[in-house]
Chains A and B, each alone.
Chain A
Amino acid sequence: MALRGLAGAGPSSHGPVDEVVAAVQEKDLPAVVAAPGEDEEIEGRSRGLLRWDGFSAWLHCVCVVGFDLELGQAVEVIYPQHSKLTDKEKTNICYLSFPDSNSGCLGDTQFCFRFRQSSGQRMSLHCLLDHFDKDLPVYLKKDPAYFYGYVYFRQVRDKTLKRGYFQKSLVLISKLPYIHFFHTVLKQIAPEYFEKSDPYLEAACNDVDRWPAPVPGKTLLLPIMGVVIKVRIPTCHDKPGTTQIVQLTQQPDTHISVVLPTVHEVDLFRCFCPVFFHSQMLWELVLLGEPLVVMAPSPSESSETVLALVSCISPLKYCSDFRPYFTIHDSEFKEYTTRTQAPPSVILGVTNPFFAKTLQHWPHIIRIGDLKPAGELPKQVKVKKLKNLKTLDSKPGVYTSYKPYLSRDEEIIKQLQKGVQQKRPSEAQSVILRRYFLELTQSFIIPLERYVASLMPLQKSISPWKSPPQLRQFLPEEFMKTLEKAGPQLTSIIKGDWIGLYRHFLKSPNFDGWFRTRWKEMTQKLEALHLEALCEEDLLLWIQKHTEVETVDLVLKLKNKLVQADRDHLPVKPDTMEKLRTHIDAIILALPEDLQGILLKTGKT
């Protein structure tokens, strides 16, 4: 199946936005004819065949969840009809798409959830799309095991209905963690959908199907139901902390276009506001992957707060599981709430009062009230004792017996407090808070980066005729020693037990995840350097000095390397692969004819 939009997605193409859209449109028609989906054929339509590849790059499916008097919550519609969801996934979606009954939520509510994908299914297309992932910042990469659900829930009185209320959710299921973007899309389409139903959904999905692929680093024009959304997905090459806002034209008319300054960021300050004095402690808890639960009055607050927590250690990736909204019906409920084991390294957002009891044994609990539009700051400065948390009615605050390693930075608190007094807009406050977290995280991670970089063998130790040298081992004590001279004190004024924080961090899932990524990158870099060194050798001279068997062995090895380099996207210089191919061909031609035939065939698929 041809993947639409790929042509415009290559690294060499930096065309203007129009071209991206045009590239998509251009290939539209022939492709429609080329790939009729099963369902369309069943329906026997000779027209309007939808191709779903473009759609799948953005969304897995769209669900409508309603309330059936006999069945309870039920998935009423899945779009496209051929999308596959297991029964378990459907059950999860049903429960996660409705607020808990105690939340109230009259009117329209937006929130987000995350759930585990049932194992062993549908890999094909996601594999194809994975190459978009490689230019993404690590914290935006897709997690193959999880889906996001973005919900627009409407609950209004309706006397004509037996239940007395109209209750329905429009839910977008996606692998992409672009919270703000999907929030905007739903806000754009859901209210109209509830008025107009089915043809509306068909048209909206069709719009998504024609979107250009979610390529990082380009300004994308995404038309949806009469409005064009303009976004730019960040890349791993962006300078952290800079938002490259897509170019604004003079038009503010939201009936025409909407420009999003970010695809993924939440309003950090608004979320941290209720627990504002503890921001730095919460950063430590998230960094260390401590079990953390957010108890909130509604799923919109729980999900925003959990996402804000997870993002506060950016550009580090939070590697444990997190559930912006978690219910007692969740398939992982037992696994996460069991008392027979220590609480898992996860962050949960909950609204059901039942959790106050179920999660009583958890070490860190954040209670938040209604999120206010950042008007006033809570006065409470002290951390609360866990034993004081009895029910969901307990007062807002952070309940923990955790003693932070670092002493609190009073400057940031003063700065933000001043902002509140001066009525500084929440977005500006968020920018300040985000920069503060970023500097803190970078101060923390730079010494680790520096040490890990030193584990790389010297360039001169790479020999083309030996396997690539090994990376040196990570030795915690050796690392700790580097901190005396090159620790976080170089970039941060914050005092405290940094060493203790590092020791704790080295045992956490976040360190594990970070280190694995670095290790893999460095191993690949070594492979790449090795490959480049091989290409610089005079291989024809080499074979003159070696036996035929050795030469054949060399050819096979080189062919293997080519395949591997291709598959793993090794960071080699652009012409290396071509050089290597030329080498291989030259060597083969120097061999006797019977061998040539065999060698030309091997390794070709």
Chain B
Amino acid sequence: MALRELKVCLLGDTGVGKSSIVWRFVEDSFDPNINPTIGASFMTKTVQYQTELHKFLIWDTAGQERFRALAPMYYRGSAAAIIVYDITKEETFSTLKNWVKELRQHGPPNIVVAIAGNKCDLTDVREVMERDAKDYADSIHAVFVETSAKNAININELFIEISRRIPSTDATPPSGGKGFKLRRQPSEPKRSCC
């Protein structure tokens, strides 16, 4: 079976749960007292997708502002970027849009973008409506899921969807949806989320 190495980076505000998503995906565990990431941490996990093995080389970047300038090193060469926001903090959704802009300007041309609205277990204090986030994601042809690293909701699904969107090595187009066309995108739809 063919093994493909796929670089994946996680982007998003500090504290939205990027590391927790990776930990849930790779180790199937959750630690509420995780330390903020320095620079980026790296993990791998190999999954089977159809006739291929996808080895995800996951770069989980630091959300803190002082590491902001390092981001290009992590999305450079990435097959996919997972941008994470916290459904209970509206400002993290605005940060997400800035990441989309940055990827559009400087990211790899065919990068698959996935948007993860994390902490969906905390619906009581929700600030970002699922519908709004979904519409936004659709408008930029991004994968969208609401996730909970804590309760293991939609974490594997997120990565399966990424596998589906990544163009297969042979020339035939993938069965899943379209790739994320950053550069040909008309202007981003103007809508407020909440």
Contacts and interface: CB of A to CB of B under 8 A. Distances in A.
Contacts of A22: 26-27, 43-44
Given A251-B5, A255-B77, A256-B57, A228 B31 contact: no
Interface of A: 18, 21-22, 25-26, 29, 32, 47-50, 192, 196, 199-200, 202-204, 206-207, 210, 221, 223, 225-228, 249-251, 253-257
The 10 A-B residue pairs whose C-beta atoms are closest, nearest first, are A203-B39, A255-B77, A226-B73, A223-B42, A206-B38, A226-B74, A256-B77, A255-B76, A256-B7, A199-B66
B38 A225 contact: no
Given A203-B70, A207-B39, 11 more contacts: A21-B42, A22-B43, A29-B34, A47-B35, A48-B36, A199-B39, A199-B67, A249-B3, A249-B4, A256-B57, A257-B5
12 contacts: A21-B42, A21-B44, A22-B27, A29-B35, A196-B69, A199-B69, A200-B70, A202-B38, A202-B39, A203-B38, A207-B40, A255-B77
Interface string B19-41: 00000001100010011111111
B39 to A, nearest CB: 2
A459 B9 CA distance: 61
Nearest to A225: B73
B45 interface: yes
B65 to A, nearest CB: 10
A21 B59 CA distance: 13
A203 B69 contact: no
B73 A48 contact: no
B96 interface: no
A200 B76 CA distance: 16
Given A22-B26, A256-B7, A225 B70 contact: yes
Nearest to A188: B73
A256 B5 contact: yes
Contacts of A221: 44
Contacts of B139: none
A227 B7 CA distance: 9
Interface residues of B, number: 32
B62 interface: yes
B46 interface: yes
B47 to A, nearest CB: 12
A225 B7 contact: no
B36 A47 contact: yes
Among A192, A226, A227, the most chain B Cβ lie within 10 Å of the Cβ of A226
Q: DSSP majority for the B interface?
A: mixed
Contacts of B69: 196, 199-200
Q: Which one of B5, B39, B69 has the highest number of Cβ atoms from chain A below 10 Å of its Cβ?
A: B39
A188 to B, nearest CB: 10
Contacts of A254: 77
Contacts of B34: 29
A50 B38 contact: yes
A255 B79 CA distance: 11
A25 B40 CA distance: 13
Contacts of A50: 38
B187 to A, nearest CB: 29
Given A48-B35, A210-B41, A26 B5 contact: no
A204 B62 CA distance: 13
Contacts of A32: 35
A204 B43 CA distance: 16
Contacts of B74: 226
Contacts of A207: 39-40, 42
B14 to A, nearest CB: 10
B100 to A, nearest CB: 19
Nearest to A16: B46
B81 to A, nearest CB: 12
Contacts of B39: 199, 202-204, 206-207, 225
Given A192-B73, A255-B77, A249 B5 contact: yes
Nearest to A32: B35
A254 B57 CA distance: 13
Contacts of A18: 44-46
B35 A253 contact: no
A499 to B, nearest CB: 56
A380 B7 CA distance: 51
Contacts of A199: 39, 66-67, 69-70
A468 B188 CA distance: 83
